[in-house]
A and B are shown apart, each in its own frame.
Chain A
Amino acid sequence: MASRPSRSGGLVERIVSNATLNERPAPTYEDVQRSAAFTDLKRRLRRFVFPMSAGFLLWYLAYVVLASYAPGFMATRVAGSHITVGLLLGLGQFVTTFVITQIYVRYAERTLDPRARDIRRHVEKARR
Chain B
Amino acid sequence: MNAAALAAVAAIVLVAVASALVGAYGVRRRSTSDFLVASRTSGTAAHAGAISGEYLSAASFLGIAGLVLKDGVDALWYPVGFTAGYLALLLFIAAPLRRSGAYTPSDFAEARLGSAQVRRVCTVFVLVVGWLYVLPQLQGAGLTIATVTGLPQWVGVVAAGVVIAVTVAFGGLRAITLVQAFQYWLKLTALAIPAVIALMFFLGNDKTFDRPAPPSFSQATTVDVTTDVVLRTDGPLSLRAVGEVDGTAVDGPVTWQAGTHTVESGTRLDFDAGAPVPVVEGAPVQDAGWLTPFADGNSHGLLAVYSLILATFLGTMGLPHVLGRFYTNPDGRAARRSAVVALGMLGAFYLLVTLLGALSRLYTPQLLVSGETDAAVLLLPTAVLGNGWAGTILGGVVAAGAWSAFLSTSSGLLSSVAGVLSTDVLRGRLRDVRITTLLAGSVPILLALLVTRLDFTESVALVFAVAASTFCPLLVLGVWWRGLTARGATWGMLAGGIAALGAVSASLAGAASTGLLGTLLHRPAVVSVPLAFLTMILVSRGTRRERPADADQLLLRLHAPERLGLSADTAEDGPARFRD
* Chain A residues, Cβ within 8 Å of B333: 108-109, 113
* CB of B568 within 8 Å of the partner chain: yes
B292 proximal to A (CB < 8 A): yes
Smallest CB separation, B3 vs chain A (Å) = 36
Residues of B within 8 Å of A30, CB to CB, are 552-553, 568
Q: Select from chain B the residue with minimum beta-carbon distance to A53.
A: B91
Q: Which of B299-339 contact A (CB under 8 A)?
A: 301-302, 305-306, 309, 313, 333, 336-337, 339
Contacts of B91 in A (CB 8 A): 49, 52-53, 104
Cβ contact of B343, chosen from A41, A98, A109, cutoff 8 A: A98
- Chain B residues with CB below 8 A from A102, complex form: 340
Which residue of chain A lies nearest to B563 when distances are taken between CB atoms in the complex?
A120
A113 to B95, CA, bound (A): 12
How far apart are the CA atoms of A42 and B350 in the complex, in Å? 35
What B residues does A56 contact at CB under 8 A?
84, 87
Contacts A64-B302, A68-B301, A98-B343 hold; do A28 and B566 have CB atoms under 8 A apart? yes
Q: Is A78 an interface residue (CB 8 A)?
A: no
Min CB distance A59 to B, Å, is 10
B392 → A minimal CB distance (Å): 31
**Within 8 Å of chain A (Cβ to Cβ): is B23?**
no
Q: Measured between C-beta atoms, what is the minimum distance from A97 to chain B in Å?
A: 5
Which residues of chain B have C-beta atoms less than 8 A from A93's C-beta?
Answer: 76, 80, 84
Measured CA separation A12–B351 after assembly (Å)? 47
Which single residue of chain A is at the shortest CB-CB distance from B295? Answer: A71
Chain A residues within 8 Å of B568, by CB? 28-30
Q: A53-B92, A100-B87, A105-B337 are in contact. Are A94 and B347 (CB under 8 A)?
A: yes
Q: Is the CB of A74 within 8 A of B292?
A: yes
- Min CB distance B307 to A, Å, is 11
On whether A86 and B293 interact (CB within 8 A), knowing A32-B560, A94-B351, A97-B87, the answer reads yes
Cβ of A98: which chain B residues have Cβ within 8 Å of it?
83, 340, 343-344, 347
**Interface pair A123/B564, CB less than 8 Å apart:** yes
CA gap between A71 and B73 in the complex, in Å: 12
Please give the number of chain A residues whose Cβ is less than 8 angstroms from any Cβ of chain B in the complex: 51
Q: A residues within 8 A CB of B336?
A: 104-105, 108-109
Given A28-B566, A32-B564, A120-B564, verify A61-B552 contact (CB < 8 Å). Answer: no
Candidate in A28, A49, A65, A93 with the most chain B CB atoms within 10 angstroms: A93
Interface string of B79-116 (1 = CB under 8 A from A): 11001101110111000000000000000000000000
Q: Which residues of A contact B561 (CB under 8 A)?
A: 41, 116-117, 119-120
B567 close to A28 (CB less than 8 A)? yes
Q: A42-B559, A74-B292 are in contact. Are A94 and B567 (CB under 8 A)?
A: no
CA gap between A52 and B396 in the complex, in Å: 44
Cα A82 to Cα B359 with chains together (Å): 14
Minimal beta-carbon separation of A115 from chain B (angstroms):
8
Question: Looking at the complex, which one of A45, A87, A101 makes contact with B559 (CB distance below 8 Å)?
Answer: A45
Contact status A29-B553, CB under 8 Å: yes
CB nearest neighbor in A for B344: A98
Q: Complex: how many Å from CA A90 to CA B351? A: 11
Closest to A116 in B: B561
A116 to B556, CA, bound (A): 13
Return B79 CB to nearest CB of chain A, in Å.
7
Q: Is B294 interfacial (CB-CB < 8 Å)?
A: yes
B210 within 8 A of A: yes
Measured between alpha carbons, how far is A57 from B310 in the docked complex, in Å?
A: 9
Taking the closest CB of chain A, its distance from the CB of B305, in whole angstroms, is: 5
Residue of A nearest to B348 (CB): A94
Contact (A33, B556) CB under 8 Å given A64-B306, A87-B73, A97-B84: yes
Least Cβ distance of B387 to chain A in Å? 30
Nearest CB in chain B to that of A70: its residue: B293
Show the binding face of A for B, using Cβ within 8 Å: 26-30, 32-33, 38, 41-42, 45, 49, 52-53, 56-57, 60-61, 64-65, 67-68, 71, 74-75, 82, 84, 86-87, 90-91, 93-95, 97-98, 100-102, 104-105, 108-109, 113, 116-117, 119-120, 123-124, 127
Other A-B pairs beyond A64-B293, A90-B76, A104-B91, 10, CB < 8 Å: A29-B557, A30-B553, A45-B559, A64-B302, A65-B302, A68-B302, A71-B294, A90-B293, A105-B340, A123-B564
A-B contact pairs, 16 of them (CB 8 A): A29-B560, A29-B566, A29-B568, A41-B559, A68-B294, A75-B291, A87-B73, A90-B80, A97-B80, A104-B91, A109-B333, A113-B333, A120-B561, A123-B564, A124-B565, A127-B566
